Structure 1
Amino acid sequence: MEHAREQRVKRTQRDYSFAFKMMVVHEVEKVQITYKQAQAKYGIQGRSTVLVWLRKHGQQDWTSNMPTSSKRQLTPQQRIRQLEKQLAAEKLKTEFIQDVIYHIDKECGTDLGKKYTEHVSKIGKAKED
């Protein structure tokens, strides 16, 4: 039985407590150290472990730092397709909202549709000015 225990391979992955993760995230976000320095300082094994913690538990918006396809130069045709997709998505959202408002008005006997339309038209006029 003891012989079987000796041959077992040790697990290399470590589990870190939530408090430890938050301490590392706090230290990196306060620009005391970089995430790579934190890995070395605390002996964190994974290359992207600290980055994952920063995205999950950090206060900074990491989406703006991520490379996106919109940063590269698009051809006019690609830009048109991109804008058409955005427009279609917005139309779908608007249609969904209007359907929800219609059903709320029907079920509750309210007049949200009229109020919503007035509100949207005011916003549209303000943007034009």
Structure 2
Amino acid sequence: MESRIKRTQRDYSLAFKLSVVEQVEKGELTYKEAQRRYGIQGRSTVLVWLRKHGRPGWSGWSLPTVRGVDMDRQGKALTPEQRIKELEVQLKEAREKAQLFEAVVNVLEKDYGVRVVKKPSGKSLRKSSSKG
């Protein structure tokens, strides 16, 4: 039987949080299993970590995975056709979000005179300092 250690919030290092997030995202654990295994008391603590430190766009409301297999709401494995349909819905939502963000940027620029600089994909805005 696993021993459970009750923890306080200050016990959670960033490395620990990232490790838990990675395990949940890979499907090795559900967020509830992670809570039990690591003695995390807050009901939504792991979900908050997933939203904050997980993959971009992680919402927590997508279909669950069990050990890397995509599952439907009744716990049955998804067929490739069902998975494709789910991904098409997610793609449509992502495109709609992108259009919304573009519209917001246009309003900011036209109506408020705010210049929005878009970060080129794959490049950091931070200047690298080279010390020799």
TM-score by length of 2: 0.42
Look at both structures and tell me which one has the larger radius of gyration over its CA atoms. 1
Q: Which has the higher contact order (CA 8 A, sep 6+)?
A: 2
Structure in which a larger fraction of residues adopt helix: 1
Q: TM-score, normalised on structure 1?
A: 0.42
